[in-house]
């Protein structure tokens, strides 16, 4: 039997999709660090530093803050299966693909789910949440902060107030927002939040930072039955990452190295400058897209800086367009999901990949490919418009 065993050789790519994003060179180097045992004192010391950096990133003092071994969906499932027991009620705000995923997992937990739906591309209306809460009580209200499928950034303060006024816990998906825009867990009274390592933290997929408020921790303590997932049981993982150091699983050592370095890079840049950089590159991309005669799908006042949903012109096959971007220019972008399948390109400008070079490269490549497909494009207008944004900026 012949077994393929060629040397690993991956093609060069510019990762401008919905994730993973381009790794920072320092993060890439960290992956070559020698392994330690997962209960080695040096590794446990490193984990403490990771936890402190995550508290900084989430802007929280929550004790129960650490990275789960798994992707962002593991973080989603961990929050839901720890906070919910069968028969308990959850209100889920759905304005995109990942709101639907929360519904799916909550139902698998045996919860009674009520939805607040909004058209994909628009933010959830707090008034609709207030009306739905009148049918309570609910144990949890769940919402996506940065909806990666639609490019919408969801304001949270008013919905947080309504949630806590009703006596429920607020659960937030910050998979795409953490490290790109402020995620103010304490200020916004978020009770449970999860994210991923592969988006704005510019590390590989495989870690899911989570944080739980004291109210959420007390809710978990008072469960009537065990958490349905051994692997994602916060009470067990807390004993592993806490002072007890009880064995639970073998942590992915190299992924922790990478997350640590990604967090260090973010900390050195700081919250304000990092957010300003993501906003500037988003504005430059938007200006270039509009100069080509295209549009962003999400409403302007709630656009997500790190993920841009660019409308595909009528008559253009989005699969063929993305294939050409990849084959001819080495650029990966995402296609639309769910209701937006075939209608948008999902262009990520996340973490290390959010920079002027990538914006101008993507705009030039898209302009050329659309011109080849017969679209009436003013050649050079996109780059000129984006450059104008950069020129006028003080960042």
pLDDT higher than 90, residue 231: yes
- In this prediction, residue 3 carries a pLDDT of 82
Q: What are phi and psi of 279, to 5 degrees?
A: -65, -45
pLDDT higher than 80, residue 191: yes
Distance CA 168, CA 114 (A): 14
User: If you average pLDDT over residues 299-317, what whole number do you get?
Assistant: 96
> For the chain, what percent of residues have pLDDT higher than 70?
100
Average pLDDT, the chain: 96
- In this prediction, residue 245 carries a pLDDT of 84
Q: Domains plus CATH for the chain?
A: 25-267 (3.40.640.10), 271-392 (3.90.1150.10)
pLDDT higher than 90, residue 299: yes
- In this prediction, residue 224 carries a pLDDT of 96
**For residue 394, what pLDDT band results from cuts at 50, 70 and 90?**
confident
Structure tokens at 389: 């944004």
Which residue, 199, 167, 170, 165, is CA-closest to 186? 170
Give ∠ CA 279-175-306 in degrees, rounded to 5: 20
**For residue 1, what pLDDT band results from cuts at 50, 70 and 90?**
confident
pLDDT in tens, 106-130: 999 999 999 999 999 999 999 999 9
User: If you average pLDDT over residues 75-101, what whole number do you get?
Assistant: 98
Which letter, b or e, does each residue of 68-91 get, where b requires 16 or more Cβ atoms within 10 Å of its Cβ?
Answer: bbbbbebbbbbbbbbbbbeebbbb
Place of tokens 């993060």: 27
pLDDT higher than 80, residue 12: yes
Distance CA 201, CA 212 (A): 20
pLDDT in tens, 319-377: 999 999 999 999 999 999 998 999 999 999 999 999 999 999 999 999 999 999 999 98
pLDDT higher than 90, residue 18: yes
pLDDT higher than 80, residue 101: yes
**For residue 70, what pLDDT band results from cuts at 50, 70 and 90?**
very high
């Amino acid at each position: 039997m012949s077994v393929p065993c060629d040397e690993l050789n991956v093609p060069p790519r510019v990762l401008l999709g919905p994730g993973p994003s381009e790794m920072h060179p320092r993060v890439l180097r960290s992956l070559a660090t020698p392994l330690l045992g997962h209960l080695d004192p040096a590794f446990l010391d490193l984990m403490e530093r990771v936890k402190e950096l995550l508290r900084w990133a989430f802007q929280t003092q929550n004790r129960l803050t650490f990275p789960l071994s798994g992707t962002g969906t593991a973080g989603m499932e961990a929050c839901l299966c720890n906070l919910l027991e069968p028969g308990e009620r959850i209100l889920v705000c759905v304005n995109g693909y990942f709101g639907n995923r929360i519904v799916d997992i909550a139902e698998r937990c045996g919860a009674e789910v009520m939805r607040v739906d909004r058209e994909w591309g628009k933010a959830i209306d707090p008034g609709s949440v207030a009306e739905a809460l009148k049918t309570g009580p609910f144990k949890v209200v769940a919402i996506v902060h940065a909806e990666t499928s639609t490019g919408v950034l969801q304001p949270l303060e008013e919905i947080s107030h309504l949630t806590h006024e009703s006596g429920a816990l607020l659960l937030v998906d910050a998979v795409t927002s953490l490290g790109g825009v402020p995620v103010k867990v304490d200020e916004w009274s978020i009770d449970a939040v999860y994210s991923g390592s592969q988006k704005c933290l510019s590390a590989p997929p495989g870690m899911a930072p989570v944080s739980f408020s004291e109210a959420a921790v007390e809710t978990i303590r008072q469960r009537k039955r065990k958490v349905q997932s051994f692997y994602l049981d916060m009470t067990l993982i807390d004993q592993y990452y806490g002072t007890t150091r009880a064995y639970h699983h073998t942590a992915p050592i190299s992924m922790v190295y990478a997350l640590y370095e990604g967090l260090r890079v973010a900390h050195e840049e700081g919250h304000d400058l990092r957010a300003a950089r993501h906003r500037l590159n988003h504005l430059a991309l938007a200006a270039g897209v509009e100069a080509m005669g295209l549009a962003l799908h999400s409403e302007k006042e709630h656009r997500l800086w790190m993920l841009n949903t660019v409308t595909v012109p009528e008559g253009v096959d989005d699969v063929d367009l993305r294939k050409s971007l990849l084959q001819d220019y080495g650029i990966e972008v995402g296609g639309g999901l769910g209701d937006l399948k075939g209608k948008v390109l999902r262009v990520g400008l996340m973490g290390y990949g959010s920079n002027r070079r990538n914006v101008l490269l993507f705009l030039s490549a898209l302009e050329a490919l659309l011109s080849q497909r017969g679209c009436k494009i003013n050649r050079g207008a996109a780059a000129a418009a984006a450059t104008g944004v950069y020129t006028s900026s003080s960042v």
